[in-house]
Amino acid sequence: MLFIKCPYCGIRSQNEFAYGGDATVKRPELNKEISDKEWDDFVYNRKSPRGKHLEFWHHISGCRQWFKVHRDTATHEIFKTLKPHEEL
Ligand SMILES: [Zn+2]
């Protein structure tokens, strides 16, 4: 079981959280013409990296805030948690 440090509440059990996806995906610029491939990449296509990855998590059974987790997908080691607007 993972223990995740919510930036708002502190360390809690993984059971209180829901995975929210890749936090490195950037939304295309508003009103900018983009190709179907770029739109597909933004909406559907995700990498499944082995190693360090930045992810969104939702503290669904706690404060209900979204935040980022910098985690190793192979070892599950958590390096850092950040508020959504913070960068690594
Ligand atoms: Zn929380």
Say what the pLDDT of residue 23 is: 95
What are 18's two structure tokens?
């829901």
Residue 35 Cα to ligand 1 midpoint, Å, equals 38
Residue 84 Cα to ligand 1 midpoint, Å, equals 13
Whether residue 12 lies inside any domain: the answer is: yes
Residue 26 Cα to ligand 1 midpoint, Å, equals 24
**Whole-Å CA distances, 50 to 9, 63, 75, 78:** 28, 29, 9, 14
Q: Is residue 1 predicted with pLDDT exceeding 90?
A: no
Residue 67 Cα to ligand 1 midpoint, Å, equals 9
Whether residue 10 lies inside any domain: the answer is: yes
Structural domain boundaries enclosing 66: 3-26+39-82
Q: Is residue 9 predicted with pLDDT exceeding 90?
A: yes
Whether residue 48 lies inside any domain: the answer is: yes
Q: What is the CATH number of the domain that holds 68?
A: 3.30.2270.10
Whether residue 32 lies inside any domain: the answer is: no
Total domains in the fold of the chain: 1
Predicted model pTM? 0.88
Whether residue 7 lies inside any domain: the answer is: yes
Residue that has been written with the tokens 């910098």 in this structure: 70
Whether residue 31 lies inside any domain: the answer is: no
